[in-house]
């Protein structure tokens, strides 16, 4: 609905606000509204007149308290005056007619004014009923179609059939019209319901007119209140219609039986007329008998005459006096009924029945009004209890979620600013909360999809043994992470301590050129142990200097050298989990931090901590996995109660080193910084346990889903880039987003609740990044890894415990197990990371190439049957590849996702 609203230029903001705010509270749903009504409404809204200041003033006037009060009085008069004048025996037409005519004119003016200046009133239920109600007043004004009270009434029995029909129609119209007039009472109901919206100055504040400052005071109330008012009005309208139908329209069925006659009147007049014709002298005695009969009634005859009809008018030739008549002529002529035969006429005083009838009519009307009011108020409170209070609570939560979800979303921030600058009203159609609500729901469904996809992966029904073996690595708990904590490390603070020193990795000294080092073909196996030490030393030194851990004091370099050597010594000579792996992980972290532009969201101290964690993350690794340690009851499994025993041990060994005076890297840090560095090392190393893998992938996907807009906007790598190394000339993502006015994604990654996840994922991704390198590097690492697995398998066999499938050198097919490993573990992790940091896409490209290479190897080695081949290309394998491909293509060619 908000989309097809005509555009407003800034000059008409005030008027447009007024226009938006004129939506009647009882606006009917537009579903059933005919097309041309909608077009007419729309045309009216777009017209110059509608947007003119005159129309705006009229609107304001119609909504003012003064006009509302006057209209309410006019309505009260229109409702009760006709019956009240009967009760009060008003015997002349002038003043009731004057009052009723004035009311009618006022209603007509209001009807016209609202129809022309309020598009929402046009063709609404209220306009219909107002028209009927206003038109109905012609039956209450004597000079139009009403009853002339100065003339006696002719009962219906003698009138011609056509006249009966007319009376029937007019009575029906009058009953229906009174119903129409009654609907105006609904406005009174609204006033009562809105009473709590009146401020101290008495200025009327309908919910639609709430000023922005009030929104700030009651941020949660607005939309709930608007919904409540709408709901209340819709319900009240229906209850009112039902009440009016029952109280006013149901008696219409009586109209079919109308006229209802008191036969005694006709019978007596006929009897007297007969006597008068045949035995004129007995007329008076007959009249006396009639007077005696009616003496016990509340009504009776008071005059009688002989005569004849001339053009439907009875001309009396002789009046009869002194026949003991009890009644006298009524004050109000219209209460006198003339009952006649062609030759005789008796006039009855019907004032008491007429009064009773008027009183009953008044009572029924008051009763109807009371019921409508009571039910409206009762409904309003029910609506408040049932809908508004829960809605307010729910919307409060939605706002909180939205605040978190959209904290970094420039779209919503932009909208809020726009709303603030335009002083927008809380019209339900364009309420910010509604947009937020929709967006939150969208987010939640995306987040639910993330969950569902993870559950789907865990469905092991048609997996082969390798894949189940891989999944069994994901043993351990999946309980919620505890890493979402804020921490005191302030990037700016630590940055301000010292200017960053340009890293000098002394790569050339180690025989590695910078391009190779930064590429995915960098192979630590090419380095000698001494070169490994040197490289680590230089990497650590430059980062420690940047982080102001080292400030050039004497002995620092020696300490670092000792530390690196100690770490090197701490790694046993395993096929895979050795110092080479540690250096490989550390250099991969350096690369990833460059690609992700980590300078924007991690302080130098945090980066340095991450590198220390990377170097020490597998220190003391015995060459067996956690499952084995638990199975054999190893002392580590005993010590750490089977909960990540290896990772706990790595942390402990690393910190034993860091506690020694000769390797005390963090000795110069303040207590707070030291604690923070320790927290980072411990958390990130503990999260290298594969048992944490699934949850990490899920959390990364959630992080992306929650901030998709902001990340998408800022992701604009240069089109056609083949390599993703950051170039010096290219502005950083942060600067780009500043230049383009978008939200800075670094704010997302540096938010306290996300930073630890980001660091954990960097270390973990580096730890398992072997399958995402150039083919020869990947293959070399895969061989080392399986060598270690098989060694464990041999141990398992010799100890007589079950051999884990991946460790069984007799059964395992190497290429096939690698395909499964990439498919289930590595590709979801890298996919999630590439969404967050598109510059990492090169790892994705390598993964998809390598999976093809493993496939070829597998086909060469096993010569699989058609069936097996088909099974090897399941959707679950293709999907991650497609995701990479899409991702890479869009990043490379479209500059975004």
What is the binding site for Zn ion (CB under 5 A)? Answer: 618, 767
Q: Which of 570, 579, 565, 554 is nearest to 663 (CA)?
A: 565
The angle subtended at Cα 400 by Cα 399 and Cα 402, nearest 5°, is 60
CB-wise, 673 or 788, nearer to Zn ion?
788
Q: Which is nearer to Zn ion, 533 or 769 (CB)?
A: 769
Measured from the CB atom, is 325 or 586 closer to Zn ion? 586
388 vs 680, beta carbon nearer Zn ion: 680
Residue 770 Cβ, how far from Zn ion at the closest point, in Å?
Answer: 10
- Residue at token pair 């697995």: 789
Which C-beta is closer to Zn ion: that of 215 or that of 767?
767
Strand pairing category for 300-310 and 313-320: antiparallel
| Closest CB 617 distance from Zn ion, rounded Å | 5
Contacts for 827 with CB less than 8 Å, ≥ 6 apart = 844, 847, 851, 880, 881, 883, 884
Name the β-bridge partners of 591.
none
We find the least distance from the C-beta atom of residue 584 to Zn ion, in angstroms, to be: 9
The closest alpha carbon to 843, from 769, 761, 767, belongs to 769
Return the DSSP state at 761.
Answer: H
CA-wise closest residue to 568 among 558, 557, 578, 577: 578
User: On the CB side of 591, how many CA atoms lie within 13 Å of its CA?
Assistant: 28
Whole-number minimum distance, CB 577 to Zn ion, in Å? 6
CB of 616 to Zn ion, least distance (A): 10
Quick one: 402 or 690, whose CB is closer to Zn ion?
A: 690
End-to-end alpha-carbon separation of the chain, Å? 30
Give the Å distances, CA to CA, from 622 to 106, 303, 446, 470: 96, 128, 42, 20
Q: Which of 143, 132, 141 is nearest to 172 (CA)?
A: 132
Q: From the CB of 618, what's the least distance to Zn ion, in Å?
A: 4
Under 8 Å between Cβ of 739 and 731? yes
* Percent helix, percent strand, percent coil in the chain, to nearest 5: 70, 5, 30
Give dist(CA 628, CA 630) in Å, integer. Answer: 5
Identity of the residue, 755 or 764, whose beta carbon is nearer to Zn ion in the bound complex: 764
Closer by beta carbon to Zn ion, 89 or else 787: 787
CB of 767 to Zn ion, least distance (A): 4
Asked if residue 413 lies in contact with residue 747, where contact means CB atoms within 8 angstroms, the answer is: no
* Torsional sign, CA 237, 239, 242, 243: negative
Question: For residues 361 and 697, which CB has a smaller minimum distance to Zn ion in the complex?
Answer: 697
Nearer Cβ to Zn ion (130/767): 767
User: Measured from the CB atom, is 685 or 751 closer to Zn ion?
Assistant: 685
Note whether 653 and 616 are within 8 A (CB): yes
**In the bound complex, what is the minimum distance in angstroms from residue 777's beta carbon to Zn ion?**
16
3-class SS at 51?
A: coil
How many helices (H) does the chain have, and how many strands (E)?
A: 39, 4
- CA pseudo-torsion sign 264, 266, 269, 270: negative
SS3 annotation, 816-840: HHHHHHHHHHHHHHHHHHHHHCHHH
**Minimum CB–partner distance for residue 820 and Zn ion (Å):** 19
Toward Zn ion, which CB reaches closer, 436 or 636?
Answer: 636
Q: How far is the CB of 585 from Zn ion (least distance, A)?
A: 6
CB of 661 to Zn ion, least distance (A): 28
The Cβ of residue 431 has, within 10 Å, a number of other Cβ atoms equal to 20
Q: Which is nearer to Zn ion, 549 or 822 (CB)?
A: 822
Q: Write the CB contacts of 441 (distance below 8 Å, at least 6 apart in sequence).
A: none
CB of residue 527 to Zn ion, shortest distance in Å:
18
- The single residue listed with the structure tokens 């009016």 is 244
Is the Cβ of residue 433 or residue 788 nearer to Zn ion in the bound state? Answer: 788
**Least Cβ distance, residue 540 to Zn ion (angstroms):** 18
As a residue count, the chain comes to 897
CB distance 384 to 721 below 8 Å = no
CB nearer to Zn ion: give 119 or 657.
Answer: 657
Q: Least Å distance between CB 787 and Zn ion?
A: 15
109: which 2 tokens?
């003016």
- Nearest-approach distance from CB 465 to Zn ion, in angstroms: 25
As given in the structure block, the two tokens for residue 805 are: 């499938």
The answer to whether residues 58 and 113 touch, using CB atoms and an 8 Å cutoff, is: yes
User: Smaller CB distance to Zn ion: residue 369 or 826?
Assistant: 826
Provide the 10 A C-beta neighbour count for residue 578: 20
Query: From the CB of 599, what's the least distance to Zn ion, in Å?
Result: 25
Which three-class secondary structure string do you get for 95-147?
HHHHHHHHHHHHHHHHHHHHHHHCCCCCCCHHHHHHHHHHHHHHHHCCCCCCC
Q: Which is nearer to Zn ion, 507 or 540 (CB)?
A: 540
Q: Which residue has the tokens 């509302």?
A: 68
Coil, helix or strand at residue 301 = strand
Write down the least CB distance from residue 660 to Zn ion, Å. 23
Q: Coil, strand or helix: which one is 14?
A: helix
Q: Which is nearer to Zn ion, 139 or 628 (CB)?
A: 628
- List Cβ neighbours of 367 (8 Å cut-off, separation of 6 or more): 247
476 and 516 Cβ atoms separated by less than 8 Å? no
Min dist CB 576 to Zn ion, Å, is 8
State both tokens at 516: 């190779």
Q: Report how far residue 398's alpha carbon sits from residue 437's, in angstroms, rounded to the nearest whole number.
A: 7
């Amino acid at each position: 609905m908000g989309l097809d609203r005509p555009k407003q230029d800034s000059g008409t903001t005030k008027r447009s606000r007024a226009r938006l705010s004129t939506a009647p509270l009882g606006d009917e749903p537009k579903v059933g509204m005919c097309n041309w009504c909608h077009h007419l409404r729309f045309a009216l809204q777009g017209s110059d007149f509608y947007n003119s200041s005159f129309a705006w003033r009229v609107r304001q006037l119609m909504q003012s308290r003064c006009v509302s009060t006057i209209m309410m009085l006019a309505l009260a008069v229109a409702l009760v005056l006709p019956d009240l004048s009967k009760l009060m025996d008003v015997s002349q037409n002038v003043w009731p007619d004057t009052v009723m005519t004035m009311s009618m004119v006022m209603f007509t003016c209001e009807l016209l004014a609202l129809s022309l200046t309020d598009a929402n009133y046009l063709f609404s239920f209220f306009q219909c009923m107002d028209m009927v109600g206003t038109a109905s007043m012609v039956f209450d004004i004597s000079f139009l179609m009403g009853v002339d009270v100065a003339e006696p009434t002719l009962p219906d029995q003698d009138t011609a059939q056509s006249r009966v029909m007319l009376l029937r129609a007019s009575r029906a119209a009058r009953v229906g019209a009174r119903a129409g007039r009654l609907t105006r009472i609904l406005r009174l109901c609204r006033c009562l319901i809105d009473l709590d919206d009146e401020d101290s100055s008495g200025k009327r504040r309908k919910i639609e007119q709430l000023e922005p400052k009030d929104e700030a005071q009651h941020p949660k109330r607005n939309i709930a209140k608007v919904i409540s008012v709408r709901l209340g009005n819709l319900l009240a309208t229906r209850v009112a219609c039902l009440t009016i139908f029952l109280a006013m329209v149901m008696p219409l069925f009586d109209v079919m039986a109308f006229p209802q006659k008191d036969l005694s009147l006709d019978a007596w007049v006929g009897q007297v007329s007969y006597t008068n014709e045949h035995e004129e002298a007995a007329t008076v005695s007959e009249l006396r008998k009639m007077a005696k009969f009616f003496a016990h009634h509340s009504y009776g005859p008071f005059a009688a005459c002989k005569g004849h009809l001339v053009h439907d008018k009875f001309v009396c030739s002789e009046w009869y006096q002194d026949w003991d008549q009890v009644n006298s002529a009524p004050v109000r002529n219209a209460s006198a009924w003339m009952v006649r035969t062609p030759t005789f006429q008796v006039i009855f005083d019907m004032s008491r029945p007429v009064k009773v009838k008027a009183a009953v009519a008044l009572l029924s009307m008051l009763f109807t009004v009371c019921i409508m009011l009571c039910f409206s108020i009762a409904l309003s409170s029910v609506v408040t209890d049932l809908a508004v209070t829960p809605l307010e609570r729910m919307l409060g939560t939605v706002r909180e979620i939205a605040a978190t979800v959209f904290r970094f979303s420039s779209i919503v921030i932009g909208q809020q600013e726009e709303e603030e600058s335009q002083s927008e009203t809380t019209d339900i159609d364009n309420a910010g909360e509604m947009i937020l609500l929709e967006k939150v729901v969208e987010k939640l469904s995306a987040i639910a999809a993330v969950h569902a996809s993870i559950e789907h992966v865990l469905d092991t029904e048609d997996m082969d043994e390798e894949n189940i073996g891989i999944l069994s690595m994901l043993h351990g708990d999946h309980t919620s992470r505890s890493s979402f904590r804020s921490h005191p490390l302030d990037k700016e603070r630590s940055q301000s301590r010292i200017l960053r020193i340009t890293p000098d990795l002394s790569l050339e000294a180690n025989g590695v050129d910078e391009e190779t080092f930064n590429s995915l073909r960098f192979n630590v196996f090419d380095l000698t142990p001494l070169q490994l030490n040197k490289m680590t030393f230089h990497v650590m030194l430059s980062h420690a200097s940047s982080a102001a851990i080292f400030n050039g004091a004497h002995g620092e370099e020696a300490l670092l050298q000792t530390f690196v050597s100690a770490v090197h010594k701490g790694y046993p000579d395993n096929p895979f989990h050795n110092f080479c792996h540690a250096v490989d992980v550390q250099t991969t972290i350096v690369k990833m931090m460059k690609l992700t532009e980590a300078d924007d969201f991690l302080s130098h101290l945090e980066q340095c901590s991450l590198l220390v964690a990377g170097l020490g993350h597998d220190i003391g690794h015995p060459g067996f996995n956690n499952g084995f340690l638990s199975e054999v009851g190893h002392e580590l499994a005993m010590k750490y109660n089977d909960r990540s025993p290896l990772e706990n041990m790595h942390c402990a060994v690393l910190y034993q080193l860091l506690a020694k005076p000769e390797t005390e890297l963090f000795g110069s840090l303040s207590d707070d910084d030291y604690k923070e560095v320790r927290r980072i090392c411990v958390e990130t190393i503990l999260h290298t346990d594969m048992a944490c893998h699934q949850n990490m992938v899920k959390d990364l996907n959630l992080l992306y889903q929650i901030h998709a807009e902001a990340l998408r906007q800022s992701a604009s790598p240069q089109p056609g880039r083949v390599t993703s190394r950051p170039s010096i000339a290219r502005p950083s993502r942060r600067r780009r987003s500043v230049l383009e006015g978008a939200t800075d994604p670094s704010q997302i990654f540096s938010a306290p609740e996300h930073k630890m996840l980001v660091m954990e994922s960097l270390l973990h991704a580096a730890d398992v990044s072997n399958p995402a390198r150039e083919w020869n590097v990947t293959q070399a690492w895969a061989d080392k890894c399986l060598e270690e697995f098989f060694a464990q398998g041999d141990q398992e066999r010799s100890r007589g415990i079950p051999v884990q499938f991946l460790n069984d050198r007799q059964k395992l097919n190497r290429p096939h197990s690698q395909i499964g490993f990439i498919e289930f573990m590595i590709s979801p992790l890298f996919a999630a990371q590439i969404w967050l940091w598109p510059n990492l896409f090169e790892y994705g490209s390598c993964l998809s190439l390598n999976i093809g290479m493993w496939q070829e190897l597998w086909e060469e080695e096993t010569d699989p049957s058609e069936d097996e081949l088909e099974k090897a290309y399941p959707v679950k394998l293709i999907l991650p590849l497609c995701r990479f491909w899409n991702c890479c293509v869009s990043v490379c060619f479209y500059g975004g996702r």
